[in-house]
Amino acid sequence: MFFAKKNPLKGRDIISIHDLSKEDILYLLHQAADLATYNPRLLPDKIIASLFFEPSTRTRLSFDAAAKRLGAQVIGFDNIETTSLKKGESFKDTIKMIEQYADVIVIRHPKEGSAQLAADLSHVPVINAGDGSNQHPTQTLVDLYTIKKEKGKLEGLTVGFLGDLKFGRTVHSLASALGLFNANIVFIAPKG
């Protein structure tokens, strides 16, 4: 079991998979493998703001469950109808207010670039849980973890993508990450 005392990602935003080097990704996958067998309460007294501006089941619940398993508290919303945004509060004011309560912000938003805007506004780290059809770096990390677990490696694999390749944020992130591992990537999509 290995938990690095010096976390190279501490305090950093994760908006795009491009924010992570190959070494960063391998570090995170190693940490995830350790956490799969040993679940310490690494985040006591930490608060994670979970801001979901659009519906989500798996991503939202996985973040919430992971935070709680690590000892953090989770605040936030999954329906903007119950927030001051509904009353006309701006996105900027919402982020500036929430950063006062949280140690990190996890955001899912239907508009491309919104996670970067949140990061630009916030003094606490922001993690992109999907922004429009742009990026979904955390899903990419889950996918890479699964591929490595199932295939035993990430280097030099052939990986196929099938379906909505233009608007699929998960495809954009994962294809970029696989490029770091010299993957042969095959795209299969309907015409148009």
Give residue-wise pLDDT tens across range 102-151: 999 999 999 999 999 999 999 999 999 999 888 899 999 999 999 999 99
Mean pLDDT to the nearest integer, 149-172: 88
End-to-end CA distance of the chain: 49
Q: Is 59 a catalytic residue?
A: yes
pLDDT of residue 1: 43
* Catalytic pick among 60, 108, 109, 148: 108
Q: Is 58 a catalytic residue?
A: yes
Q: Residue 187 CA to chain centroid, in angstroms?
A: 23
Q: Is 140 a catalytic residue?
A: no
Q: Give the full edge-to-edge strand order of the sheet including 73-77.
A: 73-77, 47-52, 104-109, 126-131
Helix (H, G, I), strand (E, B) or coil at 71: coil
pLDDT classification of 189: cutoffs 50, 70, 90: confident
Tell me the whole-structure pTM to 2 decimals. Answer: 0.92
pLDDT of residue 2: 47
* Catalytic pick among 136, 148, 169, 172: 136
* Catalytic pick among 10, 58, 153, 166: 58
pLDDT classification of 36: cutoffs 50, 70, 90: confident
pLDDT digits (tens, 9 = 90+) for 40-96: 888 999 999 999 999 999 999 999 999 999 999 999 999 999 999 999 999 999 999
pLDDT of residue 141: 97
Contacts of 185-190 with C-beta under 8 Å, sequence gap 24+, read: 185/158, 185/159, 185/160, 185/161, 186/158, 186/159, 186/160, 186/161, 187/160, 187/161, 188/160, 188/161, 188/162, 188/163, 189/161, 189/162, 189/163, 189/164, 189/165
* Catalytic pick among 5, 87, 153, 166: 87
